[in-house]
Amino acid sequence: MKKIIILAALLALTGCGSTPDYMKNASSNIFNGMNDSQIKKTVSDIASVKLKDPESVQFRNFKIKRGGDYSGASLPDAVRIVCGERNAKNSYGGYTGFKTFYVDGSGFLNDGNNLSLVCK
């Protein structure tokens, strides 16, 4: 039983250090071929989806971060992530205050931890 658990844990961890497809290949990046205003619109749509009142969300301070070298794949013009701040209404109808978030090239929204490191 211990061997099965260890094997399962090792298999689960093998993917943790790999480079995501959108960083290896610009064609798999959701922002590919978009201008800055289209990128901001796409990010706004993604960042609004799960909110209680998506029509009332306010955005500011968008930062489009481009380029980088990921596991030997240099993509100087590819959009890595888009950072921003959003202010949304809570269940009582009041705004909660601006909070930092980012959306990466795969469309993943992070509005939780380690944002200060990524969105400097």
The predicted-structure confidence for 41-69, as pLDDT tens digits, reads as follows 999 999 998 898 999 999 999 999 887 65
Residue 83 lies in a domain: yes
Whether 98 is in a domain gets the answer yes
Q: What share of the chain is helix, strand, coil (3-state, %, to 5)?
A: 35, 25, 40
Task: Report pLDDT for 3.
Answer: 42
Evaluate whether residue 8 is within a structural domain. no
User: Does residue 6 sit within a domain?
Assistant: no
**CA-closest candidate to residue 102, choices 89, 113, 115:** 115
Is 56 inside any structural domain? yes
pLDDT at residue 77 in the model: 66
Question: Is 5 inside a domain boundary?
Answer: no
Q: Is residue 11 part of a domain?
A: no
What parts of the chain have a pLDDT lower than 50? 3-24, 70-71
pTM equals 0.69
- Report the domain count for the chain: 1
Q: Which of 87, 69, 91 is nearest to 78 (CA)?
A: 69
102, part of any domain: yes
Look at residues 86, 89, 92, 39 and name the one whose alpha carbon lies nearest to residue 64. 39
> What domain range is 78 assigned to?
21-118
Q: Are 36 and 92 in contact (CB under 8 A)?
A: no
Give the Å distances, CA to CA, from 28 to 74, 96, 113. 15, 34, 25
C-alpha distances (whole Å) from 99 to each of 46, 63, 71 are 15, 14, 31
